[in-house]
Amino acid sequence: MWQYFSKLLDEREREGEVMNHQTACAVISASETATDFKKSFICANDDLHQALLDSPLAIFIYVFGVLLVMFIVQRAAKPLPHKKDEEDKTDL
């Protein structure tokens, strides 16, 4: 399977269909109209994105977040136990 994709990618590279993979930071830094704040913000975002991709900690944080949301949804879906007061019993 991987051999097929590797062969396909090699063919496209020879044909010139594969673009140069530039980061958003490189693209925005080359722009003359972008402000310094925008350039620094985009570059910081790219650095953070790359750090999260390189670190296995991001996967653990993602799994923890999914489990937390599942737990909260499960707790919210449960009906609250309804306790009758003694006054309610006497009214019947």
* Residue 24 token pair: 């958003």
Q: What is the residue-wise DSSP string for 11-80?
A: HHHHHT-SPP---HHHHHHH-SSS-HHHHHHHHHHHHHHHHHHH-THHHHHHHHHHHHHHHHHHHHHSPP
4-38: b (≥16 Cβ within 10 Å) or e:
eeeeeeeeeeeeeeeeeeeeebeebeeeeeeeeee
> Could you report the per-residue pLDDT of 29-87, keeping only the tens digit for each?
888 898 999 999 999 999 988 888 888 888 898 899 999 999 999 999 888 777 766 65
pTM, to two decimals: 0.46
